[in-house]
């Protein structure tokens, strides 16, 4: 193992971040905690399949990884010699996708003699709240983090950068999947979450009632909702084949309302249990208008402090990986060259 203890650049810390856990290939460069480049290559290929196809995702990462990392470094306007660390997603995620990023980070580490910083993807979604942005309102510890995306749904108590405790998580589908699968049942394109959000603005959220799951504590379950929507629509379209088309706005509003109510209930439970009234959110679903309105209402009604990163840092991105790497670098938490990707990873 080379000697990484020397500080290459005493004035500033430069971290390269690499993220390949799912279907986005991303690379970012961070200077002293500030993003100086963040490149994300989305994989359009999955749209026609109505969901992420793991085998296709890893092939696309293989094609994208070199140009994406190259562009991130060029856009940052720095020489790789300046980099102090290479942060990469170790897990959790799709194994074939992770393998591409992990192998590439290791190769760069050897070639450039730069230490590795293996990052937990879910912790990165949370610490994305520390990426400096326009409003610059950073959360104070301890706070609660609600991570809601196509792959994850968690409520985490964040005591410190590296001291986090999962209070609740989904027992089946993630909240983004609940949106996307409901959209698919209604015949909408993938990913359907943003479409449901769009149509919901014009609909009546109380028009149709869908059951909420009975799950203990701060845990979530979304698979029952999908099934009840499926049965409901099968029954309705038997009587009226145009039922979905005629009720698209009200259906979207009612589905969104139910999902947001589920999130709200669990969040209120976690707030009550911990007495913590600071909530940070992350993940693609934090773009949802209903989720944002719910958080705004809570902040007005009960004086809740809400933190939302800029949109580009809520979905999968390498800037959030780099920010975790930045804190790990300062703690000298380096990885070894025999590090392997982990589809499942302990928190």
Give the three-state DSSP class for 31.
strand
Using CB under 6 A, pick the residue from 92, 101, 115, 193 that binds ligand KG4.
193
Provide the strand spans (E) within 96-196. Answer: 116-120, 143-148, 153-160, 163-169
Residue 216, number of CB atoms within 10 A of its CB? 8
Q: Which of residues 4-23 bind ligand KG4 (CB under 6 A)?
A: 22
**Residue appearing with tokens 């804190």:** 327
CA distance 203 to 240: 19
* 179 binding ligand KG4? (CB under 6 A): yes
Residue count, binding to ligand KG4 (CB under 6 A): 18
309 near ligand KG4, rule: CB under 6 A: no
Cβ–Cβ under 8 Å, residues 321 and 39: no
Determine if 93 is a binding residue for ligand KG4 (CB under 6 A): no
Give the side-chain half-sphere CA count within 13 A for 267. Answer: 27
Query: In whole angstroms, how close is the CB of 19 to Zn ion at the nearest point?
Result: 8
Contact string (CB under 6 A) for ligand KG4, positions 258-297, x = contact: -------------------------xxx-xx---------
The most distant pair of C-alpha atoms in the chain lies apart, rounded to whole Å, by 73
Stretch that binds ligand KG4, among 4-12, 74-82, 136-144, 145-153 (CB under 6 A): 145-153
Q: Is 19 in the site for Zn ion (CB under 5 A)?
A: no
Residue 105 and residue 335: Cα distance in Å, rounded? 11
Minimum distance, C-beta of residue 112 to ligand KG4, in the bound complex (Å): 29
- Tokens 């600071």 locate to 278
Binding segment toward Zn ion, per CB under 5 A, in 26-34, 155-163, 259-267, 316-324: 316-324
8 A C-beta contact, residue 222 and residue 153 = yes
Position with the least CB separation from Zn ion: 316
Segment near Zn ion (CB under 5 A); pick from 10-18, 141-149, 200-208, 294-302? 141-149
Query: In which order are the strands placed within the sheet that holds 14-19?
Result: 34-42, 24-31, 14-19, 85-91, 116-120
Contact partners, residue 297, CB within 8 Å, separation at least 6: none
SS3 call for 313? helix
| Partner whose footprint covers residue 150, from ligand KG4, Zn ion, none (CB < 5 to 8 Å by kind) | ligand KG4
Count interface residues toward Zn ion (CB under 5 A): 2
Q: How far apart are CA 202 and CA 221, in angstroms?
A: 27
Q: Using CB under 6 A, which of the segments 31-39, 172-180, 234-242, 261-269 binds ligand KG4?
A: 172-180
Q: Which of 85, 96, 150, 335 binds ligand KG4 (CB under 6 A)?
A: 150
CA angle 108, 58, 179 (to 5 degrees): 125
Residue 93 contact among Zn ion, ligand KG4, none, beta carbon within 5 to 8 Å by kind: none
Residues that bind Zn ion (CB under 5 A): 149, 316
Residues that bind ligand KG4 (CB under 6 A): 22, 149-151, 176, 179-180, 191, 193-194, 197, 283-285, 287-288, 315-316
């Amino acid at each position: 193992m080379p000697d990484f203890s020397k500080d290459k650049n005493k004035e500033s810390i430069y971290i390269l971040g690499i993220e390949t856990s799912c279907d986005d290939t991303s690379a970012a460069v961070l200077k002293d905690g500030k993003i100086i480049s963040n490149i994300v290559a989305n994989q359009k290929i999955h749209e026609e399949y109505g969901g992420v196809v793991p085998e296709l995702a890893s092939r696309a990462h293989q094609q994208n990884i070199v140009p994406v990392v190259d562009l991130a470094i060029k856009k940052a306007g720095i020489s790789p010699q300046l980099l102090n660390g290479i942060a990469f997603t170790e897990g959790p995620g799709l194994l074939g996708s992770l393998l591409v990023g992990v192998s590439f980070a290791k190769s760069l580490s050897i070639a450039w003699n730069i230490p590795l910083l293996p990052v937990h993807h879910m912790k990165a979604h949370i610490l994305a709240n520390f990426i400096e942005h326009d409003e610059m309102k950073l959360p104070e510890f301890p706070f609660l983090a609600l991570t809601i995306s196509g792959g994850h749904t968690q409520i985490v108590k964040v005591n410190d950068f590296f001291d986090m405790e999962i209070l609740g998580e989904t027992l089946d589908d993630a909240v983004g999947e609940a949106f996307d699968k409901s959209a698919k049942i209604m015949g909408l394109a993938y990913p359907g979450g943003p479409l449901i959000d769009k149509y919901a603005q014009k609909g009546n959220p109380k028009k149709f009632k869908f059951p909420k799951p009975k799950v203990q504590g701060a845990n979530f379950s979304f698979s029952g909702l999908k099934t009840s929507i499926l049965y409901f629509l099968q029954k309705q379209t038997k009587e009226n084949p145009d039922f979905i088309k005629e009720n698209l706005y009200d259906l979207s509003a009612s589905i969104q309302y139910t999902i947001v109510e589920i999130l709200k209930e669990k969040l209120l439970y976690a707030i009550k249990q911990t007495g913590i009234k600071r909530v940070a959110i992350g993940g693609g679903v934090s773009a949802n208008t209903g989720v944002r309105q719910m958080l705004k209402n809570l902040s007005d009604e009960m004086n809740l402090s809400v933190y939302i990163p800029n949109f580009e840092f809520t979905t999968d991105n390498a800037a959030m990986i780099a920010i975790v790497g930045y804190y790990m670098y300062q703690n000298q938490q380096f990885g070894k060259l025999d590090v392997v990707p982990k589809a499942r990873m302990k928190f």
